[in-house]
Structure 1
Amino acid sequence: MSKAVKSKTDARTRRGLGSIIRSEFSLIIGLLTAGIFLWAGSGLVENIEHPGAMGVVFLWLFIAVLWSAISVVRHADYLAIKCGEPYGTLILTLSAITIEVMMISAAMLHGKNNPTLARDMMFAVIMIALNGLIGLSLVLGGLRHREQHYNLQGVNSYLNTIMALGVLGMVLPNFTTSMSGPRLSTMQEVFLAITSIGLYAIFLLIQTTRHSEYFMESKGATHASEHHAGPMHSTVYHA
């Protein structure tokens, strides 16, 4: 009897390990890709002259980065479900922002000296997110659910904060006269940094304390966990 129980336990353990490996295969691919490029350095890209080989390397990096980013968001989504609102939304936001900051930092460190690169990239991100992704989500959600539920007060809080930060960081430099071109002086950059941190701090206070109900699911909305078919593990595992 004990042997049968032990064999069943071993079988469940093997199935569990196999399921974890399959679900976290993107992590393995990402680590292997990072290790190969750290070992080979920039020579792996610089020494490739054939356009086809360069296309293969680009496709490899694109798939590895995209797959890893989707995996990060998946774990953040599970953490968001476990923590509940409004902290779940905050976790998803921080995970997405972390990925963006890492990619922008990598481009700035390895590219040419371009002081406006970060601002231009953030401008592109805001345009893609607000116009493309939100619009596509509204269209697809309308086609699937016919009618969707929103918390309008929370949406207004998000949009007001994004518009204020966007104007201060990406529009205001075009109208300043202290520096040539769309640039800010040192004092203006300090003012921008303090103002941005203050605005986001106030937004976090609104989101997590006094007006946290603005960021809860509205009545009639489907619970987020119903859309997840994959297994949910412990908080430490997803973190």
Structure 2
Amino acid sequence: MPNRYAPAHVCKSGCNSAKNTQHFGSAIRAEFPLLVGLGTVAIFLVVGSDLNELTTRALPLLGVFVWLFAVILWSAMCVVRHADCLAIKLGEPYGTLILTLSAISIEVVMISTAMLHGANNPTLGRDAIFAVIMIALNGLVGLSLMLGGLRYREQHYNIQGVNAYLNVIMALGVLGLVLPNFTTSTSGPTFSTEQEIFFASVSLLLYAIFLLIQTLRHRGYFLDVKEIATQHSPRHLARVRSTGFHAVMLLLYLVTVIFLAEKFAIPLDNSIEQFHMPQAFGGAIIAALVL
């Protein structure tokens, strides 16, 4: 009797082994950008000082700039991919919140390191935020509406959620980008220390209220009532793994991007100096990486 069922057992074991090997190979291919990012991190840990010295010349500077830009952009796209998978696992609006916090973390680190590295671009933070608003509201939203209209003819969206987002963005945009032009306590379009504290406090308060609206009181504003969870295609669901896996990979990609962002600040700052680029170029590059 045991011999009778042995072939089936062996076949089942072999099939499971082949399936596990296939899944492992698929995971390795999907996370290949992480290997590239970690390899780049290792290179900069070992010979980072030598590479920084090479960036004083135009051609090596261009090579290091393109190399780091491509790796950071590739890793940032993987951050979005894993955040999107977590959004599917956890549901909205928590998925959007995870993606937002991930993008903000990358942007804050890149702006901070770039500003701390060189004193020739003190307005980098303002330029980056302005570029993000312009690219997001004009570029990405416009492109999404155009492509969505061409494919689906008519699109459905939650107008209440859109209004909530736009109200917060416009309020923060006016406070941070417009109001400094009309203050008289300091010379130039800048805030005084008291005004900076006020602006930071109001920004935190507005975002805290927005989070309460998004996650608790009016959560339905940020959900698509016509969306059915079972409508996801099998191909998309096949890429979604466990919550722990995507959370760990998201953190690994974030750490990689944050480390490389610190290294990217040097060639970015040197590029602005050597190629006589406008000061807003740094903000546009950071916005492009984040978005």
Q: TM-score, normalised by structure 1?
A: 0.91
Residue 235 of structure 1: aligned partner: 243
Q: CA 1:119–1:50 in 2, change beyond 3 Å: closer, same or farther?
A: closer
- Which runs of structure 2 are paired with 1:82-101 in the superposition (5 Å)? 82-101=89-108
Separation in 1, partners of 2:110, 2:32: 21
Separation in 2, partners of 1:49, 1:88: 42
Residue 155 of structure 1: aligned partner: 162
C-alpha deviation, 1:3, in angstroms: 4.2
Separation in 2, partners of 1:9, 1:218: 40
C-alpha deviation, 1:136, in angstroms: 0.7
- Aligned counterpart for 2:111 among listed residues 100, 104, 108: 104
C-alpha deviation, 1:78, in angstroms: 0.5
Q: Which amino acid aligns with 2:245?
A: Y
Q: Which amino acid aligns with 2:239?
A: P
The answer for unaligned runs of 5 or more in structure 1 is none
- Aligned counterpart for 1:197 among listed residues 188, 201, 204: 204
The answer for unaligned runs of 5 or more in structure 2 is 1-5, 248-291
- Name the count of aligned residue pairs: 238
Is 1:174–1:181's contact at 8 Å kept on the other side of the alignment? yes
Residue 10 of structure 1: aligned partner: 17
Residue 275 of structure 2: aligned partner: none
Q: TM-score, normalised by structure 2?
A: 0.76
The range that moved more, 166-175 or 10-19, is 10-19
1:25 aligned onto 2:29:
no
Residue 135 of structure 2: aligned partner: 128
Separation in 2, partners of 1:230, 1:39: 38
Separation in 2, partners of 1:93, 1:203: 13
Identity over aligned pairs, percent: 62
C-alpha deviation, 1:109, in angstroms: 2.6
C-alpha deviation, 1:50, in angstroms: 6.5
The range that moved more, 66-75 or 221-230, is 221-230
Separation in 2, partners of 1:35, 1:103: 19
C-alpha deviation, 1:58, in angstroms: 2.5
C-alpha deviation, 1:10, in angstroms: 2.6
Question: Relative contact order, CA 8 A, sep 6+: which one is greater?
Answer: 2
- Aligned counterpart for 2:177 among listed residues 170, 180, 195: 170
Residue 266 of structure 2: aligned partner: none
Q: Which amino acid aligns with 1:101?
A: V
Separation in 2, partners of 1:193, 1:48: 36
